[in-house]
C-alpha cells in the first residue's frame, strides 16, 4: 500500500474516532515497520471470504491520544478476525506498536 492509499483508509477511521472520543484523539499514526507487529513475519495478504485481503487494524493509544493503524500478516490477521475475545496476541501487538510509536517520537 502506498501513502495515498493508507491515508484514504486511515482518514475515515480517524474522523470516526474523533467523533466518538472528541478531543481525546489528537492524532493518528500508521505503523509501516518491516514486519508484522504480532509475530515479526512479512506482512501479506490473507484469505477472507475466499478473496485476498489485507488485515488493517487500529487501536487508540490513550496515553498519547493517537489512533494507531497497522497491518498484520495473514496468520495473525486470521487469528484476530476469528477471536471472540482478546487474545494474548492483542497484548503483544499493542505493546510492540506502543513501543514503536514512542521510539519514533524521539527521532
Q: What is the pLDDT of residue 45?
A: 85
Q: Is the pLDDT of residue 1 over 80?
A: no
Q: Would the pTM of this model clear 0.75, i.e. be above it? A: yes
Q: What is the pLDDT of residue 9?
A: 84
Mean pLDDT across 98-102: 96
pLDDT band per the 50, 70, 90 thresholds, residue 5: confident
Contacts of 71 (CB under 8 A, 6+ apart): 1, 31, 36, 43, 54, 55, 56, 57
Contacts of 93 (CB under 8 A, 6+ apart): 37, 38, 57, 70, 72, 76
| C-beta separation of 54 from 45 below 8 A | yes
Average pLDDT, the chain: 91
The pLDDT tens digits of the residues spanning 23-65 come to 999 999 999 888 999 999 999 888 888 999 888 899 999 999 9
Backbone angles phi, psi at 15, to 5 degrees: -65, -40
Amino acid at each position: 500500500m502506498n501513502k495515498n492509499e493508507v491515508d484514504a483508509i486511515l482518514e475515515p477511521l480517524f474522523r470516526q474516532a474523533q467523533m466518538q472520543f472528541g478531543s481525546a484523539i489528537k492524532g493518528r499514526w500508521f505503523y509501516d515497520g518491516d514486519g508484522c507487529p504480532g509475530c515479526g513475519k512479512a506482512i501479506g495478504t490473507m484469505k477472507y471470504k475466499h478473496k485476498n485481503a489485507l488485515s488493517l487494524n487500529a487501536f487508540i493509544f490513550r496515553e498519547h491520544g493517537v489512533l494507531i493503524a497497522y497491518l498484520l500478516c495473514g496468520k495473525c490477521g486470521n487469528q484476530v478476525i476469528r477471536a471472540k475475545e482478546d487474545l494474548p496476541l492483542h497484548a503483544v501487538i499493542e505493546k510492540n506498536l506502543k513501543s514503536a510509536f514512542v521510539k519514533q517520537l524521539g527521532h
